[in-house]
Structure formats: C-alpha cells, structure tokens
C-alpha cells in the first residue's frame, strides 16, 4: 500500500517532534557543560578578578573596555568601539538577521572596598559592589560559548558591553547611537546575592521602578545661634521639607501604587553656634508607572518651593537630568516571559525558575525596553561558599564566582534559542546592522 506524500510528511513530523522539542534542552545542556569546563571557568574567574582589581566609574571604563576588546579579539569576534563613550558592541553569528541583543553593564561604584582578599580593588574609593564585573565576565563567557557554537546560530547575537548604568544612563546613549536599530529583542541579567545559586528570578510586566534624582538649595539668612530672630533659618525650612515630602507618599499616593521618596543628602552649616545661609538636600524618587512618576516629580518641586516660602526662604530645585537622566520603569515584555521560562527551565531545571514580586530598585536596562522588546532577570549566587552574603552596594559585597557558568550559559542559550525560533517563524528575515 502506497502512502500519500501528505500522510508521509505527517508521520515524519510526528517522529521528529520529540527530537525537535528536545533540541533546545540539548543545546542548553551543551552550553552549560561548556561553561563549566575547568579551563573555561578558570578563564572567567581570571577575567572577573582583573576587572574587579581596577574598577572604573561610569563613562571612565577605559581599561575595562580595553580588556573586553582584547578578549573579543582573541575569540575572533568583530565589534564596534567606542559606543556611548566607552562601550563595546560585538557581533557573533551569521552577520545577518534576525538580531538579538545581550547586555552587560561595566561601571563600578564610588565606594571603598572593605573586604580583604588577594584581588581587592587597587583603586582607592572605587569598588565593584554591584556585580558588574561579574556581568561583564558572564557576557564574555556567553560570547565564548556562542563563538564555539557559531555554526548553530541562525542569525546574529549583538553583545552590548554598556557603560554608566549606575545613574549615568549609559543605556540611553547606546540606544541613541542607533547601533541596535535592527535588534528584535534584548536580554539582561543581574546577580542576586541572597538568592540560591542556580536559580533565576523574574516576572512578566513591571519588575523595577522608574527612578529620578533631585537636589534643592534652600536659602535663608545666616546669623548667630543666640539671636535667631535676626536670621532666616534654612535648616528649619529644610527639616520641614523632608517631613512634608514623605506626606506625598503617605497621603497623596494610592496605597496600591507603590512610590518612594528618599532624602539621602542633607548638608548645611559647619559650626555649632552659626545659622548657615543655605542648606542643600537631595535624594531619589521612584514609582512603577509613568503617570505616578511624573506626578511625583511635579509635587516634589511644589513642596520644596512651598515649604521654603512658608519659612521665609527661597528654594531652587534641580533634577539633574543632564548628568543623571530619569530611568523609566523596567517592564519585561509579556511575549518574552514564557520564552524565558522555557529556556531557563532547559538550562537550570524548571524548579529553579522562580516568579518574583516587583521592587523599587531601578535599572537603565529600561531604556532598551522602551524601543525593543526586552527581558531582565536576576540570577542567584548564594551557597555555602559565601555564607551570609552582603547586599548590593555594600562595601562588604562579594561576588560568588560559582555563578559565572550559570549566567554565561543562560545568556548564550537565550540568544541562540531566540534566533532559532525567530528564523523558523520568519525565514525571510535577512536584515543587516
């Protein structure tokens, strides 16, 4: 009996379906095994420690950028430099579309490292206290994995080594450079020191808040502390401003719409018996929606100026957008959420893929998400090796290097699988960067 061509095709597809469905899983395990090879792991540890020893602040990442370029040169990966000042953008794959992005931030923090170890920061007052040295290393690890398996890539992976995440908004400049114009999706990660090693955490929709900075100078009239009636006290005015700003959250914001105002800077006076001429205060404000963020910004200025007036002072408010641009809320693309869960399950096991609640930290990865479907997630790094870990932005922060293979494999698998899925859905996609 002769089968029709249609029936033969159906039977063939049904036979191949288990193989096709297992392809992503096999790829994920191959990538993870490659990242865990002794020589690859030791290479990543060495790279990370070199970066850690020489931390550089936003838009000053010259040595970090040079090291990245040297490693990409060794791998034979082409790149563009400079992008957004000190950034590097590499390309691995076919050189044609579809294109998918992977991002790592490079900058350190203006902090003195308090951990005594062989590879402690060699730069006074600067430290990688947020894990960006690890993020760069994991992206380089992903680059090595992808280059080794470039014959499997059905498109091009764009490797974004980005400057100035810590308040400088480096992602905004990368977007404005136009280098990502044909990128269809972008993925970013961040280490989570208190979460278990080998687990990832994320959610669909809003995951982190929008954030902005403010600074205000409140000016009165200085004088002797013994005769305050002859002065106009800016410290009293500033103190009432701080209290009144908290009322914006407790009495004007919807309790179900989380907002935060933190005054973290209060400077004024230098003597016990002298009322100063002026006081400077500053801080941050955060909200999960654009409307709430805009409202909060407006009310902060109104409250500062109004309270200063009540106390016979003048006030000027600066939101420092030229140096510290407002970060939008970080909002994960809903269409990428299920994709992420499936890929992460293949790499780490489905039980190690966790949903998380949104929180009020901020990330400039959000600038990518305003123009490209993007997905941001956290990767745990806590095990017996690092005991009770210090939090991010602590001078006692330590990166557990056991996380490096997991992050490298996760990023590489997300990119390779995305390209494969995109090519199967849109085989005619041959854009060029």
- Largest CA-CA distance found in the chain, in angstroms, rounded: 111
How far, in whole angstroms, is CA 116 from its chain's centroid? 27
Say if residue 166 carries a ligand binding annotation. Answer: yes
Say if residue 190 carries a ligand binding annotation. Answer: yes
Q: Concatenated DSSP letters for 363-393?
A: -TTHHHHTTS-EEEEEEEEESGGG-SPPPTT
Nearest residue to 343 (alpha-carbon basis) of 185, 206, 181? 185
Q: Concatenated DSSP letters for 232-299?
A: B-HHHHHHHHHHHHHHIIIIIS-TTS-EEEEEEEEE--SSTTEE-SEEEEEEEEEESSHHHHHHHHHH
Say if residue 313 carries a ligand binding annotation. Answer: no
Contact of 386 with 398, CB cutoff 8 Å: yes
Say if residue 132 carries a ligand binding annotation. Answer: yes
Q: Token match 């380089």: residue?
A: 140
Rounded-to-integer distance, Cα 418 and Cα 372, Å: 14
Rounded-to-integer distance, Cα 423 and Cα 430, Å: 10
Say if residue 430 carries a ligand binding annotation. Answer: no
Neighbours of 290 (CB within 10 A): 12
Contact of 284 with 360, CB cutoff 8 Å: no
Rounded-to-integer distance, Cα 399 and Cα 348, Å: 20
User: Residue length, the chain?
Assistant: 433
Residue positions forming the annotated binding site: 130, 132, 166, 190, 393
Residue positions forming the annotated binding site for Mn(2+): 130, 132, 166, 190, 393
């Amino acid at each position: 009996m002769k089968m029709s061509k249609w029936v033969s095709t159906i039977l063939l597809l049904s036979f191949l379906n288990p193989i096709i469905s297992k392809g992503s899983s096999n790829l994920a395990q191959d990538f993870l095994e490659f990242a865990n090879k002794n020589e690859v792991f030791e290479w990543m540890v060495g790279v990370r420690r070199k970066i850690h020893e020489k931390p550089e602040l936003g838009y000053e990442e010259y040595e970090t950028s040079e090291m990245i370029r040297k490693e990409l040169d060794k791998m034979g990966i082409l790149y563009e430099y400079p992008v957004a000042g000190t950034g590097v953008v590499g390309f691995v794959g076919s050189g044609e579309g579809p294109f998918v992005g992977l991002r790592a931030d490079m900058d350190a923090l203006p902090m003195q490292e308090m951990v005594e170890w062989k590879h402690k920061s060699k730069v006074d007052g600067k430290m990688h206290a947020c894990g960006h040295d690890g993020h760069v290393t994991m992206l380089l690890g992903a680059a090595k994995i992808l280059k080794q398996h470039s014959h499997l890539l059905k498109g091009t992976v764009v490797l974004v080594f980005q400057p100035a995440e810590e308040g400088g908004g480096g992602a905004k400049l990368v977007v404005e450079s136009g280098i990502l114009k044909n990128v269809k999706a972008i993925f970013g990660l961040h280490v989570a020191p208190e979460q278990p090693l080998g687990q990832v955490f994320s959610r669909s929709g809003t995951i982190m808040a929008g954030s902005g900075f403010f600074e205000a100078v409140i000016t009165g009239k200085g004088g002797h502390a013994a005769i305050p009636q002859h002065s106009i006290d800016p410290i009293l005015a500033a103190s009432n401003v701080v209290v009144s700003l908290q009322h914006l959250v407790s009495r004007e914001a919807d309790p179900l719409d989380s907002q935060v105002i933190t005054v973290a800077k209060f400077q004024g006076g230098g003597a016990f018996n002298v009322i100063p001429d002026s006081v400077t205060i500053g801080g941050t404000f955060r909200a999960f929606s654009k409307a709430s963020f805009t409202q909060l910004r407006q009310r902060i200025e109104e409250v500062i100026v109004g309270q200063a007036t009540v106390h016979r002072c003048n006030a000027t408010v600066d939101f420092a957008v030229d140096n510290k641009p407002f970060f939008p809320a970080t909002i994960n693309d809903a269409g990428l959420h299920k994709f992420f869960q499936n890929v992460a399950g293949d790499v780490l096991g489905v039980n190690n893929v966790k949903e998380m609640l949104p929180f009020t930290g901020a990330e400039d990865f959000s600038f990518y998400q305003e123009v490209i479907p993007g997905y941001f997630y956290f990767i745990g790094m806590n095990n017996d090796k690092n005991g009770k870990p210090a939090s991010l932005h602590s001078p006692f922060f330590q990166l557990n290097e056991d996380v490096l293979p997991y992050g490298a494999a996760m990023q590489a698998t997300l990119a390779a699988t995305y390209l494969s899925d995109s090519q199967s859905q849109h085989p005619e996609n041959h854009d060029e960067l």
